[in-house]
């Protein structure tokens, strides 16, 4: 049995280790997420979330909508980098009504403000997040969004019907452009 010379094995082992460390560094670099204050994106954002307190027939209280782990299908740029349109991003939103609401308010309308956080991957593999504030006006399930996001949205109760049971959860879908 012939044994390979140490002169051949050692450089190969060093090269393999260096390649492994380089690959780990690249994976670590891709996993790091950075906040970007600039974004010029067109997005379809979708998330289901909790309404607190639930909206019912009689009670009029300001309400909060909190949606986490939603999806973001975006195109455009974030932080000067092109968004990878083959990768689905994520979206979270937190919105508060400006006034007390009840079930009748869903048809008659109300206003509020919110914070949106869109996370996407760029074509070079960077993870970037854009957080912005927006205002909304809702009437009959149609939502008009303005401020850091511009466009329209829909609001669809997913738990509760406002007739027999309070609305505890809803699905929102935004078709918006970022405005920075």
Share of the chain above pLDDT 70, in %: 82
pLDDT value for 18: 38
Structure confidence at residue 179 as a pLDDT band (50, 70, 90): confident
pLDDT reported for residue 27: 40
Percentage of residues of the chain with pLDDT beyond 90? 70
Annotate 108-136 with b (16+ C-beta within 10 A) or e (fewer).
Answer: eebebebebbbbbbbeeebbbbbebebbb
pLDDT at 69 over 70: yes
Indicate the helix (H) or strand (E) that contains 175. Answer: strand 167-178
CA 36/CA 92 separation, integer angstroms: 16
* Separation of alpha carbons 116 and 63, rounded Å: 17
Q: pTM for the complete prediction?
A: 0.80
pLDDT above 70 for 126: yes
């Amino acid at each position: 049995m012939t044994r390979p010379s140490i002169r051949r094995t050692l450089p190969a082992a060093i090269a393999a280790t260096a390649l492994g460390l380089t690959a780990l560094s690249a994976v670590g670099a891709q996993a790091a997420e950075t906040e970007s204050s600039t974004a010029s994106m067109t997005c379809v954002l979708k998330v289901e979330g909790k309404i607190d307190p639930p909206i019912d027939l009689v009670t009029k209280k300001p309400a909060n909508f909190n949606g986490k782990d939603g999806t973001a299908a975006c195109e455009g740029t974030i932080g000067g980098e092109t968004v990878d349109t083959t990768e689905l991003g994520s979206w979270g939103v937190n919105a508060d009504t400006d006034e007390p609401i009840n079930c009748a308010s869903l048809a008659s309308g109300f206003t509020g403000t919110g914070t949106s956080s869109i996370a996407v991957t760029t074509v070079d593999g960077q993870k970037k997040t854009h957080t912005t504030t927006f205002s909304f006006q809702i009437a009959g399930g149609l939502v008009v969004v303005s401020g850091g996001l511009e466009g329209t949205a829909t609001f669809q109760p997913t738990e509760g019907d406002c007739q027999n049971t309070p609305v505890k959860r809803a699905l929102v879908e935004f078709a918006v452009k970022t405005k920075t």
